[in-house]
Structure 1
């Protein structure tokens, strides 16, 4: 069942995410993607905090998609929402968390995926010399990745964004340094200025496509996917439950059908090195 074929699909973005999303969505779902340049996704929050995000990422991406659909009198859309900071499982490592959501108002259907990646250049620091500025720029993959300058990390005024050339960076630094004696430089995490983030969005979109093509065995509605991971795969030496995944639970949001898939990684026992009893 292809509920999406020959329909228009709105990609809610002002940061060129359609560059990686549309080539995946169109052939797989049979849709015609379009964007609305007038729709301001920054109203739902900015990375530089001029606009604070009102809710959690999933709530925000849902509202973003819904408002974009309403503004365009459309019933099928996709949106994404990114967050940057400590990895949920490893707080000393920076991570990129991307939510991608497909909303089909015609069929009352919502499909979401979450992608967490360690592949990010997310960073920022105060610099008081051009030498320190260029060292940061090199580490941040400038100029292929954009930069932002401001007076201080917590100052939402006078921000200079989208810096992609050496001359722009030099002028911005001289201006801000001349005003305050230092500057705060940070990576521009907006997708069109950050190819590394764009690649994570592309990966998340591919996962969304796969989930949209996965149909419920009971009612054939799309979006049949993993809703929970059950840990407790038995240790191959002592038989104790480990933290490794023993099964995945799948569920249909439409009819409620659910099933459990045992041993999704094609192994029934775990290596003792991952056992808290054998290898504490």
Structure 2
């Protein structure tokens, strides 16, 4: 994979999952359609006539020429909602020292042996890819993407002038707190939210079955039995889940689950505030 491949990939995330063409301007030619020097992205308002533009060269993918069918197949990497989710996560990445957070979506990387450090960032209009390393590919101690390439990336964005433009959120994107998600999508944490109400109350805890226990329900003999689930504390209603799938929800702190067979199971419970607890047991 090349730096050009990375630039196309992240530029695609900035464009709702549609990977753009990258073009290189022929030396000495005027910049068409507002392109700057060097390598740029084909702009939507003039894309139709740039494929055969006399002053532009379409960059081949992965260092080789591709067929028209291959080219079209590589243009989409994700649907708009998925692309926005990834971009929103990357926008929350911790910035390098002395840089402001939340301004651009970016990702860094370091190759094995500290031979390459790279960083790619984007907003709605601009995607910048940075590589730092030795031409001969030799190792450079301490060469890390976050410490070496990310500061260059943020400095490059600051030189464009103006504020970075955030990506518009698709109308069907889901943005809610953990407690507002459907049970299968909730993030199970052992630490309860640090709110005054939760601090003063009894913390949520699974009382039965104990973590790491082995429960004999006679499944090896073909019996069909239910496993009792009990919790202490927390704010009702409680939602019980086994291996991420909901099995019970209600105001009571007791529930029951019918295993389909013997084996390990992760049992979790979440209350109305988002506090949760989990145990792993072996059913026999």
TM-score bucket (shorter structure)? under 0.3
Q: Which of 1 and 2 has greater Rg?
A: 2
Q: TM-score, normalised by structure 2?
A: 0.23
Higher helix share: 1
Q: TM-score, normalised by structure 1?
A: 0.23
